[in-house]
Amino acid sequence: MATKLLLTFAICRLIVTVGLTLDPTELLLLGVDAQLSVDPTDVKAASLDFGLLIGAQPPLAVMHPASSQDVAQLVKAAYGSNFGFTVSARGHGHSINGQAQTANGVVVQMSGSKGGSGMASGRKPPHPRVWPQERFVDVWGGELWIDVLRSTLQHGLAPKSWTDYLYLSVGGTLSNAGISGQAFNHGPQISNVHELDVVTGKGELLTCSEEQNSEMFHAVLGGLGQFGIITRARISLEPAPQRVRWIRVLYSNFSIFTSDQEYLISLHEQPASQKFDYVEGFVIVDEGLINNWRSSFFSPHNPVKISSLDPNGGVLYCLEIAKNYHESTASTVDQEVESLLKKLNFIPASVFTTDLPYVDFLDRVHKAELKLRSKGLWEVPHPWLNLFVPKSKIADFDKGVFKGILGNKTSGPILIYPMNKNKWDHRSSAVTPDEDVFYLVALLRSALDNGEETHSLEYLTNQNRQILRFCDEAGITVKQYLPHYTTHQEWVDHFGNKWDRFYRLKMEFDPRHILASGQQIFTPTN
């Protein structure tokens, strides 16, 4: 009864907000009323994201789907209705610019539906299903990667390609790319998917893969949620390592640092024993080594005096590498690591090594999250900027940004690591620079309201603009990762020669522009 009342309220809001006539029975006829909620807690949660950069965008209602059919019924109703309300899938809401939000429609809360308040019916999305022989797992689109890992480990298997942080949804990262230090070797997460179930903007449920509906398959991967809602993904697995040797070494010379990174990723075709499994790095502009929230790796057991490594007080660069192994091969890991390290040219006194279980390595950022949460420093605005920078221009970027614009304050970690373009399928919707090797530069900054100008949201946002302007003026043709633009022309420029196909497929699969309107690529047609 309460659910019905709430639903009627949601429908009335839809009518009032849109200002058009809607037969109130239209939504009631969806047959998914047990999953639609206007509970203020649900609405509030769906109105915000990790960025906290834009004001709250309360949706008209939140749906907690239990199946692909629930999602399909909702989207079909939106597509067929007189006014075409919008529908946005929301994974874990870890976007920063409202990409998973919609003010004039329904948010489909894909993650967390297993215990959500809309689960009055007791129906829940399916659990991961592992296929040990075939080495893949079928997962619900809202499944968090941490839960995918837990399920596959029960079979001694694990996905191959990761993000640094595992509390992100499968549908959310596959809509972007999903990258971490394994991408040089296995490609991004979108290169490790066999098959998808997708609900299109017309409410059709399609299965797609390399062989079946292949145009849809490639479009959805990296497609920013524009063509359909991923309800199932079939993800490739490998035998799970048990432990990880995790190493950090420092450089004061940028070109030596990047030469070593590029050398390490060039080994991707070598046998496993002759390459690292993970290659990343970060920039230390200030005392960021100590303030680096992503890890307490260097302290307290390995205190390091930055001034002793770089007496000029300049920028330092940290190469971060890891080797996975099974306990049965532990005896050879030292030798393998040693012979790889010998080929590198880091500052000799700067090797920091630790050894930990594979899960702890993959879940490392969550530890930092818990620490920040306990200090009230997690739920703050995050004006993050993620850029793909072509290899040929990375030295210019270093000079202009790390050694220039940033000054000596960073307000958060700055990641830098290269990837091989040939590990990215050019048919996907993801956009990367036009060179064989390109770098991710991720400025992962938190804004604080502590009276210090350099920590303020305004300061950091202006600095991001300055960085983009600098790249433009210096001819550094960067591509934004997790892109955010507000004008049509910027989106056309972002997609470059992929735009025509992107546009054509949008018209085919979501002609009323119902889906993921929070990306601000297309305007919904009423």
- For ligand FAD, the binding residues (CB under 6 A) are 49-50, 88-95, 99-100, 110, 141, 163-165, 168-169, 171-173, 175-180, 224-225, 229-230, 482, 516, 518-519
Residue pointed to by tokens 């309300």? 85
3-state DSSP assignment of residue 472 = helix
155 is catalytic: no
Contact of 321 with 247, CB cutoff 8 Å: yes
Which residues, 6 or more positions from 22, have their beta carbon under 8 angstroms from its beta carbon? 11, 14, 15, 81, 82, 83
User: Taking the alpha carbons of 293, 297, 299, 302 in that order, is the dihedral positive or negative?
Assistant: negative
Nearest distance in Å: CB 107, ligand FAD: 9
Q: Which is nearer to ligand FAD, 100 or 216 (CB)?
A: 100
E strand or H helix at 92, and its extent?
none
User: Least distance to ligand FAD from the beta carbon of 233, Å?
Assistant: 8
Q: Which is nearer to ligand FAD, 273 or 480 (CB)?
A: 480
The DSSP call for residue 123 is -
Question: Distance between CA 42 and CA 99 in Å, rounded?
Answer: 17
Q: How far is the CB of 367 from ligand FAD (least distance, A)?
A: 12
Please name the helix (run of DSSP H) or strand (run of DSSP E) that holds residue 283, with its range, or none: strand 278-284
For ligand FAD, the closer CB: 346 or 502: 502
Contact between 178 and 169 under an 8 Å Cβ cutoff? The reply is no
Q: How far is the CB of 331 from ligand FAD (least distance, A)?
A: 32
The active-site residue out of 143, 280, 320, 363 is 280
Shortest separation between residue 256's beta carbon and ligand FAD, angstroms: 25
**Nearer to ligand FAD by C-beta: 234 or 336?**
234
33 is catalytic: no
Burial class (CB in 10 A: 0-12, 13-18, 19+), 274: exposed
Both structure tokens of 513: 């522009």
Q: How far is CA 216 from the centre of its chain?
A: 21
Nearest-angstrom CA–CA distance, 172 and 169: 5
The active-site residue, picked from 33, 70, 164, 277, is: 164
- Contacts for 441 with CB less than 8 Å, ≥ 6 apart: 386, 387, 388, 389, 397, 401, 414, 415, 416
Shortest distance in whole angstroms from residue 129 CB to ligand FAD:
17
Q: Which of 64, 92, 94, 218 is catalytic?
A: 94
Task: Give whichever of 52 and 256 is closer to ligand FAD, judged by the CB atom.
Answer: 52
Q: Is 494 a catalytic residue?
A: no
Assigned token pair, 11: 């429908």
Nearer to ligand FAD, 276 or 388 (CB): 388
* Measured distance CA(153)–CA(239) in Å, rounded: 9
**Nearest distance from residue 380's CB to ligand FAD, in Å?**
12
Closer CB to ligand FAD, residue 64 or residue 94?
Answer: 94
Q: Which residue has the tokens 């909620």?
A: 37
| Catalytic center residues | 94, 164, 280
